[in-house]
Amino acid sequence: MENRQGCLVAALLAGDVGVIAHQANCFNTMASGVAKVIRECLPEAYAADLRTTKGDKSKLGKYSMAASHGGLVFNLYGQFDYGRREGWVYTRIEELAKSLRAMDAALFQRGYSGKIGLPKLGCGLGGADWDEVEQLIRDTLHDYEVIIYTL
């Protein structure tokens, strides 16, 4: 796993990675953090999110996906709701793990072997612990070159 300064979306647009993913909530907002940038720059990913049922808890542990600019964008449903309460953890690590495993299976099925770009999944507005999420990524996506993008 490599860490890079830069924009996750810009990496996809430049062809530096062929797949990007981010954590999404179950309310089809994509209005803050990296999700907002994805919504604005990769509208296909937002459209995929909108095709899911708003507020549906059964999305947890799953994903929606869109093809965009020659790559794939995964909306990983690892948190139910959202907000900005001090000290609140919105990320549900078990659900994020299920979402990552589902994404891994989808990429395997497609025969994908390229690079994957991720933010610090669920650790910004989601409040998760990066050490825990980093280990989860290493354990799940070990067959890929993963690049973590931070601004």
Domain ranges of the chain: 2-150
Closest to 150 measured CA to CA, from 72, 37, 19, 44: 37
Question: What are the DSSP E strand ranges found in the chain?
Answer: 2-5, 19-24, 63-68, 71-77, 115-118, 145-150
**Per-residue model confidence (pLDDT) at position 107:** 98
Largest separation between any pair of C-alpha atoms in the chain:
42
Closest to 19 measured CA to CA, from 42, 51, 52: 42
Query: Using 50, 70 and 90 to split pLDDT, how confident is the model at 86?
Result: confident
Mean pLDDT (the chain) is 97
**Domain 2-150 belongs to what topology?**
Leucine Aminopeptidase, subunit E; domain 1 (3.40.220)
**Per-residue model confidence (pLDDT) at position 74:** 98
For the sheet containing 63-68, what is the strand order?
A: 2-5, 145-150, 115-118, 19-24, 71-77, 63-68
Q: Number of C-alpha atoms within 13 angstroms, CB side, residue 83?
A: 8
Residues in the chain: 151
Any residues with CB less than 8 A from the CB of 49 and at least 6 apart, and which?
24, 28, 30, 64, 75
What is the average per-residue pLDDT within 48-65?
A: 98
What does pTM read for this prediction? 0.97
pLDDT at 95 over 90: yes
